[in-house]
Structure 1
Amino acid sequence: MSHLPSSDAPGGLPGPTLAAQPFDAADRAAVYRAIHERRDMRHFSGGVVAPQVLLRLLRAAHHAPSVGFMQPWRFLRVRDRAMRERIHALVEAERLCTAEALGEREGEFMRLKVQGVLDAAEVLVLAMPPGREQHVFGRRTLPEMDVASAACAIQNLWLAARAEGLGMGWVSLFDPVALAALLGMPEGSRPLAVLCLGPVPAFYAEPMLQQEKWAQRADLADMLFDETWGRQAAGGEGGDVG
């Protein structure tokens, strides 16, 4: 029987490893389908999320990568109707402030549906716990990597929800101090997202804000540079990345 390289060997891998093989065509296609069909949902049809499905989704979120393996996510499940109404009110208050800040686009913004807190089967608040400053690995010069890591957990949850046929929406229109106080969060913690999750009547054919002509997805070619900032990649869409 062959032996895996030990973690202290030059170039060794730590512990047992998984085979470095691509998924088969069907599994690969399913991954890309979930990515491309994921939508930030605002329209929900009530219903329920089965407990075993919710557990699968939360496990998927908890298996997200995190800088320094800090795992800066906590999930608060909000089922009480009165608490949801309070959260809804916080979102509405910030919605009005955001609309005012948008100036000439205020009316256009106010016509958008920005939350499903009262309609979704589940509402989860993702919060980052106190004590994050103790995690120096990967954060000494980029302390915001706690936010980046928590966002990875949200993305895992989003993709898993799409694979389960459930919609999810990320609501970020709220005063974080007010929401933390409402949920009894300890000092130093920070709510990052109100996540609306559950059955939907249908998934949007394209991102809602694109459907509503608020914004358009940029071309990948405009986002990809060669070697230095601003140097456009050669080739077709997305450049020649071969």
Structure 2
Amino acid sequence: MEDHVAQEFTGKVALVTGAGSGIGRAIALGLAAGGAAVVVADLHPDTAGAVVDTITGTGGRAIAVTGDVSRPADVAAAVDAAVGTYGALHLAVNNAGITGPTGAPADIDIDAYHRVIAVNLDSVFYGLKYQVPAMLAAGGGAIVNTSSVLGLVGTPAALPYVTAKHGVVGMTRAAAAAYARHGIRVNSIHPGYIDTPLLAEMPRRHYDALTTLHPIGRLGTAEEVAELAVFLLSDRASYITGSQHVVDGGYTAV
């Protein structure tokens, strides 16, 4: 990677939710490697702290913030931590999410449905609500919202998740249109099934079944998703806003 690209986020402050593990962790590490100061927000203080230790251990700047993204006050507090610690907010990734209940739509528990919507969709609105004013004060910025391939297509057994992730698409488009002239870009990313330690522990036949859904012949990695998110946050993507970006090994192509 060329030096000017490797440090393209120098002087920038980034906030990543769900950054304690998986895709969020990989994005936080990628932004820090590019020179950004990173607010690592997660529900779990231990995992958030471990990511901060990794970043600071290699000379980067990062702080951990613990909170529940389904609570507006916690989302606001994460933005306040970014501005209070580093003086501004330029970049944000609304990534935190849960899988939620599965089964026939008529059998889904109502409270479980509302929990998925709160964590996977409402939290993105809270992020936009509090991140945008901070970015306007900083002179502009970029936001990436993590949706899913299931934000573009349906599946019969995951109605709450599919509904929330489709909602992220509409929210992204509306926010992008609202703030494009104000120097804030907003895009969504749509990962396929990503290889994690949790998936590795499932029965081999289930793992193989997930793999066959992807024409590329394997599951993705968190780092591959992070490459896309980091690009969209960079000035290299300066003309990209309001759009959906798939990283799914061909899942949605068939």
TM-score normalised according to structure 1 size = 0.23
TM-score by length of 2: 0.22
Which has a greater percent of helix? 2
The structure in which a higher percent of residues are strand is: 2
Which structure has the higher relative contact order (CA within 8 Å, separation 6+)?
1
